[in-house]
Structure 1
Amino acid sequence: MKQRTIKKEVILKGVGLHTGAEVTMKFVPAAENHGYAFKRVDLEGEPIIEADANYVVNTQRGTNLEKRGVKIQTSEHVLAALVGMEIDNVLIELDAPEPPIMDGSSKFFVEALEEAGVEEQNAEREEYIVKDVISYKDEATGSEITVIPAENYQVTTMVDFGTKVLGTQNATLERLSDFKDEISEARTFSFLHELEMLLENGLIKGGDLNNAIVYVDKEISEETMRKLENAFNKKKLSVKPNGILDNLTLHQPNEAARHKLLDVIGDLALAGTRIRGKVIANKPGHHVNTQFAKKIAKIIKLEKRNSVPKYDLDKQPLMDIHQIMDMLPHRPPFLLIDRILELSDSHVVGMKNVTMNEPFFVGHFPGAPVMPGVLQVEAMAQTGGILVLSTVPDPENYLTLFMKIDNVKFKQKVLPGDTLIFHCSLISPIRRGICHMQAYAYANGKLVCEAEMMAQIVKKK
């Protein structure tokens, strides 16, 4: 599957549920591997907050993000729409801290994204394939989320609030293609006792009976009814036979469970990677959802770090040592790669056989030979040099020079007899001969070294 963004910008306007502030929100197309991010255009410098579980600071009445003092409130409905429409890269511009609540669902966001149109990109979509059962449980509330292996992304929610008016409800989404029709219209809901507290504390300024289902779970006095009529600017309110305030009709009998499923999808988007597996959420809420997203994100990061690509070393290489020397200016003993196994517009894979005959072993720990870490980085850089030099028609007339090295980490020793595999991929597109790469080195089924590198090709004088 290829990554997808939208074809054009599209704008929505409304008010924030909790702030009551007028807000204009714009969906903007984004580059490959951008993911989801929010941009506060009302603040100096127009700061950006990535949709990342590590930025979750509060989950009271919504999933709220904060980065360097800049906040985004109730992010989940917007993110659910993006996931549900299978869009990977979008920038969400806001002129207020909270997206518009609209009708309390994802329906209007989905419609806006459909209006913008979807465009396929060149990069492949990254997906985390669930191989083992992963769970997170909140012991205080009994809420629990589990993901198990499945052929595609599925979600089941089971809710039980211990009230007669709502009872126990379940909802299931078997495929994302059903999100629009089955889940996107499910609106947020609240219980009367919660609503009274929120109104008293000024926490639901943008709410009305068109964007929240209100379940009446207690006796309602005339005084409370008058307060609600005043808060919602309604002349007359009453309780329907099904236990909800009037002026609103349920879309489905289990709309509450469907909305909780919508929230799960939006919150798990904060893991930053698509999931292929079945999510089973028992009594989900924003806290348990986002804690589970953090756990999944950590597991994905760890597996990426320890995941060793498999290559057939017996296969004819894409480039042998002679072809490498035709492109690179380096020569023995400072030519540190032997083969190029893969090469595309965005990545390159190289190989080196480390032998006891390497010149550096003569003086570097002669009694216990270890390949110097700086030479591992140099070997990764030479591999990356093949990638950037492949963009010019006459690579033999260019040199590749380091500009910057960041986040270098050495994980394992490299010894005589090891076979090193180097994988370098672009972090951003090559511009004006400048290449920004993420590089990894593997040996013996383990990650031995990693670094971010920036280099530039310059013409030989």
Structure 2
Amino acid sequence: MVQSVKQKTIKNEVTLKGVGLHTGQEVTMTFKPAPVNNGFTFVRVDLEGHPIIEADANYVVNTQRGTNLEKNAVKIQTSEHVLAACIGCDVDNIIIELNASEPPIMDGSSKYFVEALEQAEVVEQEAERKVYVVKEVISYTDEATGSEILVMPCETYQVTAMVDFGTKVLGTQNATMKNISEFKKEIADARTFSFLHELESLLNNGLIKGGDLNNAIVYVDKEISTETMENLRTAFGKDNISVKPNGILDNLTLHYPNEAARHKLLDVVGDLALVGTRIQGKVIANKPGHFVNTQFAKKLAKIIKIEQRNQVPCYDLNQEPLMDIHKIMAMLPHRPPFLLVDKIFELTEQHVVGLKNVTMNEPFFVGHFPNAPVMPGVLIVEAMAQTGGILVLSTVPDPENYLTYFMKIDNVKFKHKVLPGDTLIFKCDLISPIRRGICHMQANAYANGKLVAEAELMAQIAKKN
């Protein structure tokens, strides 16, 4: 059972400055409050029009040395540490403004982002948080590497990361987070790491321009030649570089013996933020990496979308309705034969649920395939819109003095036929808050235990002349 929890954002803006790990660019990043159902969105304020890139697994284009997003040729690089901090601070909605493609690397962990979000003060919002409750094991395996990630039913969101690097200096490690409340103290300060052989390749290819020995742990897994030592001194601007007895380059001290596994866990949390929905389940990641993490996120997001779309609301159709036909007619300007809603069962600030009994006596069956009657799809959309009209008209004290007009219809899909004898249930949920009488909603129609139609509707109410 999911406990009802309100969505959260931050109260104040907060800004951090630093350099991007791979680009070496100076970057300013600002966390800003966001409205309900916004999720995590990146904004490139250095580009014309300030393009927005949502933190969505479908925008992942590259997972080499980080999780990189791209939408309409606009890029966000190395997004995972920032997103992990947002999840770890229990934030649902936030705008992340950047004046470059890559967030600042800081010390290679999520620590400074967590501190900034706490400084900005996390606050509750009106809408309820949407949580996907895992009911069966869902998994993804990368055959090439043997990496596997799965999620199983659990009462909370838990993550276990198991890593095996096959080297003497860094072998098998595990890390577990049993509740997201542990993130700040146990996971957030675990820094990114690299092996010496990877570091040489990255330097030779002009990457990690913003790296220094304070924002990445470097494990020395091979003998260091004099030439390599000189290149490292030059790259990091150090007079001297040495290898400590624990096999770590220079003077960095580990925060934890299993800091590498904790950082991999941090990456899993950040990458799974791209699912777009909070998860109630236990994630087990064996040899995780950005590729397998994000492929799993895409798979999970798709499963969640299908389940949510096909989730038929259950209502006792014999119960006393919230609004009968008389109350509906007192609010809506429509009249028979064009009034297509018979009852309203639920009405909140965020959604409305209505019903229509489809009978053979409907006037449209006279001309619409009279020998094989099917309810016209456009009238199903109209019926959903009328149900949504109840939602938007409920925001004014005198609904009888208003009319409702369509502004836009998007992503209309018809799944199944609606026939005489069917009972249609309509559910309309706000996509964004109602402003200036404009209502943007996701509308679904169900019959016979199935989703029969769906659409994004935008309408506006206006006073009668």
Report the secondary structure of 1:261's partner residue.
helix
Structure 1 segment 199-238 matched on structure 2, within 5 A: 199-238=203-242
Report the secondary structure of 1:227's partner residue.
helix
Give the CA deviation at 1:222: 2.2
1:260 has 2:260 as partner: no
1:87 has 2:91 as partner: yes
1:4 corresponds in structure 2 to 8
Report the secondary structure of 1:251's partner residue.
coil
1:379 has 2:367 as partner: no
- Aligned-partner Cα distance in 1 for 2:202–2:397: 66
1:122 corresponds in structure 2 to 126
1:190 has 2:194 as partner: yes
Give the CA deviation at 1:48: 1.0
How many residue pairs were aligned? 461
Post-superposition CA distance 1:276-318 (Å, at most 9, x none) = 1000000000000000000011101111111111112122110
The amino acid of 1:200's aligned partner reads N
- Aligned-partner Cα distance in 1 for 2:107–2:396: 53
Give the CA deviation at 1:202: 1.0
1:243 corresponds in structure 2 to 247
- Aligned-partner Cα distance in 2 for 1:13–1:77: 15
Post-superposition CA distance 1:331-383 (Å, at most 9, x none) = 22221111000011121110011112212222211111111111111111111
Preserved contact between residue 275 and residue 300 of structure 2 (Cα < 8 Å): yes
- Aligned-partner Cα distance in 2 for 1:323–1:124: 28
Give the CA deviation at 1:155: 0.3
Post-superposition CA distance 1:117-163 (Å, at most 9, x none) = 01100011111111110000000000000100000110000000110
Report the secondary structure of 2:252's partner residue.
coil
Give the CA deviation at 1:428: 1.9
1:426 to 418, 427, 430: 430
1:295 to 290, 295, 299: 299
- Aligned-partner Cα distance in 2 for 1:460–1:38: 41
- Aligned-partner Cα distance in 2 for 1:432–1:198: 53
- Aligned-partner Cα distance in 2 for 1:35–1:443: 31
Report the secondary structure of 2:107's partner residue.
coil
Structure 1 segment 28-427 matched on structure 2, within 5 A: 28-427=32-431
- Aligned-partner Cα distance in 1 for 2:291–2:274: 12
Report the secondary structure of 1:186's partner residue.
coil
- Aligned-partner Cα distance in 2 for 1:401–1:207: 56
Runs of 4+ in 1 over 3 A off after TM superposition: none
The amino acid of 2:243's aligned partner reads V
Give the CA deviation at 1:424: 1.0
- Aligned-partner Cα distance in 1 for 2:254–2:37: 38
Give the CA deviation at 1:403: 2.0
The amino acid of 2:270's aligned partner reads G
Preserved contact between residue 21 and residue 105 of structure 2 (Cα < 8 Å): yes
- Aligned-partner Cα distance in 2 for 1:460–1:44: 40
The amino acid of 2:425's aligned partner reads I
Q: TM-score, normalised by structure 2?
A: 0.98
The amino acid of 2:174's aligned partner reads N
- Aligned-partner Cα distance in 2 for 1:403–1:29: 28
Give the CA deviation at 1:223: 2.2
Deviation larger for 301-310 or 138-147? 301-310
Give the CA deviation at 1:63: 0.6
- Aligned-partner Cα distance in 2 for 1:454–1:15: 42
- Aligned-partner Cα distance in 2 for 1:435–1:204: 46
Give the CA deviation at 1:206: 0.7
Report the secondary structure of 2:237's partner residue.
coil
- Aligned-partner Cα distance in 2 for 1:212–1:434: 49
Post-superposition CA distance 1:32-88 (Å, at most 9, x none) = 000001111111111111111111111110011111111111000000000011101
| CA RMSD, Structure 1 to Structure 2 (Å) | 0.9
Report the secondary structure of 1:450's partner residue.
strand
The percentage of counterpart residues that share the same residue type is: 80
The amino acid of 1:371's aligned partner reads M
Deviation larger for 430-439 or 94-103? 430-439
Preserved contact between residue 244 and residue 251 of structure 2 (Cα < 8 Å): no
Preserved contact between residue 161 and residue 175 of structure 2 (Cα < 8 Å): yes
Post-superposition CA distance 1:224-265 (Å, at most 9, x none) = 112212211112211111111121000000000000000000
Report the secondary structure of 1:284's partner residue.
coil
1:450 corresponds in structure 2 to 454
* Unpaired stretches in structure 2, ≥5 consecutive residues: none
Report the secondary structure of 1:412's partner residue.
coil
- Aligned-partner Cα distance in 1 for 2:297–2:408: 33
- Aligned-partner Cα distance in 2 for 1:206–1:298: 35
The amino acid of 1:290's aligned partner reads T
The amino acid of 1:19's aligned partner reads T
Deviation larger for 363-372 or 81-90? 363-372
Preserved contact between residue 61 and residue 68 of structure 2 (Cα < 8 Å): yes
1:436 to 429, 437, 440: 440
Deviation larger for 1-10 or 358-367? 358-367
The amino acid of 1:43's aligned partner reads L
Report the secondary structure of 1:140's partner residue.
coil
- Aligned-partner Cα distance in 2 for 1:372–1:409: 13
Report the secondary structure of 1:405's partner residue.
strand
Report the secondary structure of 1:442's partner residue.
strand
The amino acid of 2:142's aligned partner reads D
Q: TM-score, normalised by structure 1?
A: 0.99
The amino acid of 1:308's aligned partner reads V
